[in-house]
Amino acid sequence: MKINKKFIYLISPNKITNNFYNNLRLVLKTGKVFFFQLRLKNYSQKKKIFIGEKIKKICKKNKVKFIINDDVLLALKLNADGCHLGQKDMDLKKAKELLGRKIIGITCHNSINLAKKAIKTKASYIAFGAFYSSKTKKTKYVASTKILNKVKKITKIPIVAIGGINSVNYKNLLLNNANFLAISGYIWKNKKYKPLQAIKRLK
């Protein structure tokens, strides 16, 4: 099986510090990142726009798709490449009306039924997880590689795997039909490696 060279779906840390932008530039320059998702829960809309504008420029320069988490209106405002929706966010049909041909990805947890629904509504990609325990987000749903293999049989839509992914376990997901790996903590909160060193370990 051919593994896509740009297989990383990078998610922002929850807190954006001053040295974040420089680290982001270094990480994106490696050419391993396909998507970058801005996922900020505790910031005002004004601050999100300010941060988003800066990140969008860095993404554009490195030919990385810039995605906004949960917030279709923010994605519109920033003219991002797309939006990622959880099951409790705006419904896909409505998001499509607003975002037109932009990328819209959907969280499907560990459910084939949710995946079928997303496929029917023509989501741009479908995300499953958590595959491993994660410090970034409380794990409500646990997924196994079986779901990746099942879904691959019914659709050609790209599949994103999420949850606790690191340099030890990432290959297993790629070998089991995940097209992209959503990674956050391993890059931004790694106690052993700086972001650039951490991403270089995912070859």
State which H helix or E strand residue 33 sits in. strand 33-38
Decide if 145 is inside a domain.
Answer: yes
pLDDT of residue 140: 84
85 DSSP assignment: E
pLDDT of residue 92: 94
Write the CA distances from 145 to 43, 91, 116, 152, 158, integer angstroms. 34, 27, 17, 11, 15
Residue pLDDT, tens place only, 141-196: 999 999 999 999 999 999 999 999 999 999 999 999 999 999 999 999 999 999 99
How many distinct structural domains can be found in the chain?
1
Provide the domain limits for residue 162.
8-200
Decide if 161 is inside a domain.
Answer: yes
- Tokens coding 74: 């923010």
Decide if 160 is inside a domain.
Answer: yes
Decide if 2 is inside a domain.
Answer: no
Decide if 20 is inside a domain.
Answer: yes
Provide the pLDDT confidence category of residue 85 given band limits of 50, 70 and 90: very high
- Tokens coding 134: 């994660």
Residue 114's CATH number: 3.20.20.70
pTM over 0.85: yes
- Tokens coding 39: 């996922």
Write the CA distances from 88 to 20, 36, 84, 108, 116, integer angstroms. 29, 21, 12, 11, 17
Radius of gyration of the chain measured on its C-alpha atoms: 16
Decide if 3 is inside a domain.
Answer: no
Decide if 1 is inside a domain.
Answer: no
Residue pLDDT, tens place only, 15-64: 999 999 999 999 999 999 999 999 999 999 999 999 999 999 999 999 99
Decide if 196 is inside a domain.
Answer: yes
Closest of 199, 202, 143 to residue 176, by C-alpha: 143
Residue 134 has pLDDT above 80, yes or no: no
